[in-house]
Amino acid sequence: MSGDEFGAPEIVRRPDKATLSAQIAGRLVDRILTAQRDRGVAHVVLTGGSMGSASLEALGASGRADEIDWSAVEIWWGDERFVPFGDGERNEVQARQALLDRLPLDPARVHPMAASDEGVTTEDGAARYADQLATAAGDGETVPAFDVLMLGVGPDAHVASLFPGHPALDIDATAAVAIHDSPKPPPDRISMTYPTLNAAREVWLMVAGADKADAVARALGGADRHQAPAAGVHGTDATVWWLDDAAAAQLT
């Protein structure tokens, strides 16, 4: 599918980060319930960073977590910082602290990316994640059709660990890629590639704060994905930009 074939994104704007996070949490519950009703199991891709944690914390605070059969939810990550297991820099650790540790998840359905103290390289970790995705996808597919894929957006418009100008932006022969020389610490990471991100039924880009306003305006204003990686992600059914007023301030 070329960029021109995607429908216009939905833009949901709320006054502040707390209100935005609560809105995201409510729609995430609804989305998981719908996926489980339609397909039995829901595939959810989590993100790191400020909005990744805030939205999960909001779900915990909403009182709605008990509506979901968490044993039938597959949890994935769009990217990971390649640091030791348990390190607070890991997106997995942040998600566990924000919510996952309090949910009755099936451990076999939780899929963290590799850690640097596992005795594997980032390349090994990326290849292993690609294998896990293919196994879960079945039917000869390389990745599952995720029900919802959540992404934060950096002030440089990066998503997952796909950074402006980085060679990984053009890798499409594998589902996950090793990242070196990340401009944002830590330098070594693992990331889903564009084809994997864009296999999701719904892609949610969640952005709060004035420091992201320029990135949002560029990505939604038609920037090339090599300059603004967030411009290159789209869901097959829907692409939703969740913005607080500060992040939306430069939209015309």
Ligand X SMILES: O=C1O[C@H](COP(=O)(O)O)[C@@H](O)[C@H](O)[C@H]1O
* Residue 36 beta carbon to ligand X: minimum distance, rounded to whole angstroms: 25
Asked whether position 64 contacts ligand X by CB under 6 A, the answer is no
**Packing angle of the helix pair 91-98, 49-62 (nearest 10 deg):** 20
- The residue nearest ligand X at its CB is 49
Restricting to residues 152-181, name those near ligand X by CB under 6 A: 152, 154, 160-161
CA triple 121-127-128, angle to 5 deg: 90
- The reply to whether 56 sits near ligand X by the rule CB under 6 A is no
Which of 21, 22, 44, 47 touches ligand X (CB under 6 A)?
47
Under the binding rule (CB under 6 A), the answer on residue 79 touching ligand X is yes
> Residue 16 and residue 18: Cα distance in Å, rounded?
6
Residue from 22, 28, 42, 51 touching ligand X (CB under 6 A): that is 51
Q: Which residue, among 44, 80, 51, 241, has the nearest Cα to 160 in the 3D structure?
A: 80
Nearer to ligand X, 113 or 171 (CB): 113
112 makes contact with ligand X (CB under 6 A): no
The closest of 19, 66, 75 to 206, measured between CA atoms, is 19
Distance CA 103, CA 97 (A): 11
SS3 for 50? Answer: helix
Rounded to a whole number of angstroms, the minimum distance from the CB of residue 76 to ligand X is 12
Give the position of tokens 């869901």. 235
* 48: contact with ligand X by CB under 6 A: yes
Site for ligand X in 80-109 (CB under 6 A): 81, 91
Cα 248 to Cα 241: distance, rounded to the nearest angstrom? 10
Shortest distance in whole angstroms from residue 110 CB to ligand X: 17
Shortest distance (Å) from residue 33 CB to ligand X: 25
| Cβ atoms 77, 113 nearer than 8 A | yes
The binding site for ligand X (CB under 6 A) comprises 47-52, 79, 81, 91, 151-152, 154, 160-161, 184
